[in-house]
Amino acid sequence: MENERPGRGPAPRPLHAICWPEPDTAARDGVSSEPAAAVGVAQLRSLPAFVAARQAIAGRLREVLSGYPDLVGLPAVPDGVEPSHHLFTFFVREPERLSRDRLIHELDDRGVQVPIRYFPLHLTPEWRSRGHRYGECPTAERLWFEEQMTLPCHPGLTDKQVDLLCELLADSLRASLC
């Protein structure tokens, strides 16, 4: 088998194939069709229920991650703020003890999608064509390439799926410790 490693089975998928799928042109240029806009308007009626579901899922994920306070950074939520959790993002803070890339592979091997969103803008083709390069924004680059992770937080997840996600996250965290 082409992707086979002697004595160790198939090689893990490259990170770019797991986390950074090719962007959809319509999503990138902001053009939306009228039918898509009509669906969006209809979905606004369900927004409070969607947000409540995402908040519940995020609470469960925070519970699992809170077991690793020295290794994982969770975004602070100021008093009086109720995030919608469009994405559930956290940061791997101790790469010497917890490998983000290994955690991504462990989750992927268990069937958990790990998209990483919001690529540093200065490294997109549009900005690179204007002369911007890697190294200009070292903090953003470190956070995105080394620390940031995103977990599923879709309001359509069932309780059983969220239970499984939390179990797989805990297993993957234990397996990723250095």
Does 161 or 16 have the greater pLDDT score?
A: 161
**Which of 155, 156, 138 minimizes the C-alpha distance to 147?**
138
Q: Model pTM? A: 0.76
| Percent of the chain whose predicted confidence (pLDDT) is above 90 | 49
pLDDT tens, position by position, 33-84:
788 888 888 888 999 999 999 999 999 999 999 999 889 999 888 999 999 9
Contact 85, 54 (CB under 8 A): yes
- Locus of tokens 């919001």: 118
- Locus of tokens 């490693």: 5
**How many angstroms separate the CA atoms of 76 and 62, rounded?**
11
The alpha carbons of the chain give a radius of gyration, in whole angstroms, of 18
CB atoms within 10 A of CB 52: 13
CB within 8 Å of 87: residues ≥ 6 apart: 117, 150, 153
pLDDT at 129 over 60: yes
Element (H, E) at 165: helix 159-176
CATH number of 34-176: 3.90.1150.10
Instruction: Give the E-state strand segments of the chain in sequence order.
Output: 4-5, 9-10, 72-73, 88-92, 148-151
What is the model's pLDDT at position 20? 59
Give me the numbers of helices (H) and strands (E) for the chain, helices first please.
Answer: 8, 5
pLDDT, mean over the chain: 85
Does 162 or 27 have the greater pLDDT score?
A: 162
- Locus of tokens 């803070």: 93
